[in-house]
A and B are shown apart, each in its own frame.
Chain A
Amino acid sequence: MKKDLIDIQDLSREDIDELIAVAEDIIADPDKYAEKCRRKKLATLFYEPSTRTRLSFEAAMYELGGQVIGFSEANSSSAAKGESVADTARTVACFADIIAMRHPKEGAPMVAARSTHIPVINAGDGGHNHPTQTLTDLLTIAREKGRLDDLTIGCCGDLKFGRTVHSLIAAMHRYPGVRFVLISPEELVIPEHVRTDILQANNIEFLETRDLEAVMPELDILYMTRVQRERFFNEADYIRLKDSYILTPDKLTYAKPDLAILHPLPRVNEIAVAIDSDPRACYFRQVLCGKYIRMALILKLLGVK
């Protein structure tokens, strides 16, 4: 049966450990992988622009010796003419070996996966899932901390619409000794389904708070997210909330010396530039991890050893 990656929860802990091991091996010896996907094509079907994610996928495929086709926004694609996601996916499956799809509507990559015989990777579906970002985060944490268990993970910012946080919680709750500190304004707390179906259902320790500084000393990981303008219906709410949770050097005074600060990028101003030179800032190393874990994922889904 063909494999897809739609939701991070499609992957078992063993799958994730295996992907991380392959990514580590690629980092150690990239030449070994330079021809693994020769004559294979990745289709990047991006119905909304996300240059960073698309380039990461494309760079990953090129580094595996493969090729890339696709589109980078909906109005240059057949979607602009009203073609269904299923029909586009079926068509593309005639040309490509694997699809990475980004779409503003939730579930679109699932529709593609159910319509084709080739693997489909969800490269972000609205505010819903973004599993390759989560794999990126996991590889980053594994490399920075040397482990994925026994960690206190702080998630800060827009926890309501911040899908990267939902997926991170969904993936990390399976590791023993992981607890979450959820830092957000009242208006942007995690959705009920994450709280009940993941955290409470699995008896995971978590704390919800408004105060970043107060919890800073406890954190092993600080996962910052952007408060996105497009998720708000009303400009006044956005202006009022966007600056509430900005990480500045003074807020790090009582942080652990080996704290790892992650951010899915791009940032606006939620992390002060002054922090970039702090060794605890991992977000640019995180981008590089994104390419390597996508290489490992493409190999896995294509069944290339």
Chain B
Amino acid sequence: MIIGSIVNGIVIDHIPAGRGMELYRYLKLDDMECEVALIKNASSDKYGKKDILKVNEVIDLDFDMLGYIAPQITVNIIRNGERVEKVHPKLPETITGVLRCKNPRCITSIEQELQHVFKLTDREHGVYRCIYCDTKAEKQSLV
């Protein structure tokens, strides 16, 4: 499958090499009926190696979360065989129910039903902190 062969769909490019599968799971692409391709270790002029995801259908994406995974990720929207949009995801202001707070003194550690919410406190360095206890989010796998 090459980009040219996608009529209506999306190409998620510049995924850091090795994290394509995580993204595949996070976006629940396994459940998709359409053609999906994960290309691992594609060569990249800028980053050496990269992963690429191609989905032969325009799906609703949480672009912001892609920005959290890696700011260099780009999303190309393909319609009628042409790229109609190229999106550079921004870091989301808040991330709800994805990251886990690891602070054993945090209220989230004893209340199982409570959603874990993180807020962006330093855009330049991509720092997120738990809204309850201010603990910094460690880099963690999303799935």
A contact set with B: CB distance below 8 Å: 84-86, 103, 105-108, 110-111, 125-128, 193, 197
Contact = CB atoms under 8 A, between A and B. Distances in A.
Contacts of A126: 105, 133
Contacts, number: 48
B106 interface: yes
Given A105-B105, A106-B103, A85 B134 contact: no
A105 B134 contact: no
What is the interface residue range for chain B against chain A? 10 to 19
A127 B121 CA distance: 20
B111 A128 contact: no
B111 A106 contact: no
Nearest to B106: A106
Most buried by A among B107, B111, B133: B107
Contacts of A127: 105
Interface of B: 103, 105-111, 113-114, 121-122, 129-134, 136
A128 B114 CA distance: 19
Contacts of A193: 129, 134, 136
Given A84-B113, A111-B114, A197-B121, A103 B136 contact: no
Contacts of B134: 106, 128, 193
17 contacts: A84-B113, A84-B114, A105-B109, A105-B110, A106-B103, A106-B134, A107-B108, A107-B131, A107-B132, A110-B132, A111-B132, A126-B105, A126-B133, A128-B105, A128-B133, A193-B136, A197-B122
Given A106-B134, A126-B105, 13 more contacts: A84-B114, A85-B111, A86-B111, A86-B114, A105-B105, A105-B109, A106-B132, A107-B130, A107-B132, A108-B107, A111-B107, A125-B107, A127-B105
Contact of A107 (B106, B113, B121): B106
